[in-house]
């Protein structure tokens, strides 16, 4: 049967077309045995372009978009106001509380180093390397390296070679480069202002843990 992809979300200049979750996705999600199956069920199977490679934050962003389209109910929170200490309810619209932040890909230039950054290319390699990494820092570095299209105008470096180049950088040079990459990479912004209806106090809340993200019947 031909699938229709009626919805779209933007990641940088790319219009990512997707469809809502179907029963088959739920089945696959509940029976998935590895992370790849899980990612397929929740996101990749729902995309028109299945060759796309999403970074971890891009994946979370598209997952949130698909969830918000597929399940109309909002995510429900109860907050305790820091000022008046009264409880209040907040129904979070994920499309509003989460947004993507990034700068266009380009060259990161520092001293005699030029890193030309671009989008990810090989999903299998990317996910394999990210899943095998055992620390957050290592994941971050792998993500950075796999976004490098060329180093000093040479686009022929392998992952290992780029890894060695990174390891040989002076620590302060590395820091400067990472600061620029941090501005450029796609980041999920999930910090949002919520206002207490009792005293009108506004506080910033980080929506990192989402209760009710999946329906109860999807419990694995």
Site residues (vs Zn ion, CB under 5 A):
81, 83-84, 196, 198-199, 201
* Closer Cβ to Zn ion, 179 or 199, answer by number: 199
- Based on the number of CB atoms within 10 Å of its own CB, is 186 exposed (0-12), middle (13-18) or buried (19 or more)? buried
* Closer Cβ to Zn ion, 88 or 102, answer by number: 88
In the complex, what is the shortest distance from the CB of residue 194 to Zn ion, in angstroms, rounded to a whole number? Answer: 10
In the complex, what is the shortest distance from the CB of residue 212 to Zn ion, in angstroms, rounded to a whole number? Answer: 24
- Tokens 């570095």, residue located: 141
* Closer Cβ to Zn ion, 197 or 212, answer by number: 197
In the complex, what is the shortest distance from the CB of residue 91 to Zn ion, in angstroms, rounded to a whole number? Answer: 17
- Based on the number of CB atoms within 10 Å of its own CB, is 18 exposed (0-12), middle (13-18) or buried (19 or more)? buried
* Closer Cβ to Zn ion, 148 or 196, answer by number: 196
**Cβ neighbours of 83 (radius 10 Å):** 12
In the complex, what is the shortest distance from the CB of residue 199 to Zn ion, in angstroms, rounded to a whole number? Answer: 3
* Closer Cβ to Zn ion, 111 or 198, answer by number: 198
Residues 6+ apart with CB under 8 A from 43: 54, 59, 62, 63, 66
Q: In whole angstroms, how large is the CA radius of gyration of the chain?
A: 20
Q: What is the largest CA-CA distance in the chain?
A: 60
In the complex, what is the shortest distance from the CB of residue 209 to Zn ion, in angstroms, rounded to a whole number? Answer: 22
């Amino acid at each position: 049967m031909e699938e229709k992809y009626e919805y779209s979300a933007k990641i940088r200049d790319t219009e990512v077309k997707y469809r809502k979750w179907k029963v088959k996705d739920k089945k696959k999600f509940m029976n998935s045995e590895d992370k790849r199956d899980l990612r397929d069920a929740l996101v990749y199977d729902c995309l028109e372009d299945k060759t796309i490679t999403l970074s971890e934050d891009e994946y979370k962003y598209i997952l949130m978009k698909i969830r918000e389209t597929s399940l109309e109910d909002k995510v429900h929170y109860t907050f305790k106001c820091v000022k008046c200490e009264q409880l209040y309810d907040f129904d979070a619209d994920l499309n509003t509380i989460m947004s993507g932040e990034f700068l266009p890909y380009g060259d990161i230039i520092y001293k005699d180093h030029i890193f030309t950054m671009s989008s990810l290319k090989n999903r299998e390699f990317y996910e394999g390397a990210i899943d095998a990494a055992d620390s957050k820092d290592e994941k971050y570095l792998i993500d950075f390296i796999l976004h490098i299209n060329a180093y000093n105008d040479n686009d022929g470096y392998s992952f290992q070679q780029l890894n060695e180049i990174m390891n040989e950088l002076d620590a302060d040079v590395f820091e400067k480069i990472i600061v620029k990459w941090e501005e450029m990479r796609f980041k999920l912004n999930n910090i949002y202002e919520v206002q207490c209806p009792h005293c009108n106090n506004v506080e910033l809340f980080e929506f990192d843990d989402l209760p009710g993200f999946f329906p109860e019947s999807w419990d694995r």
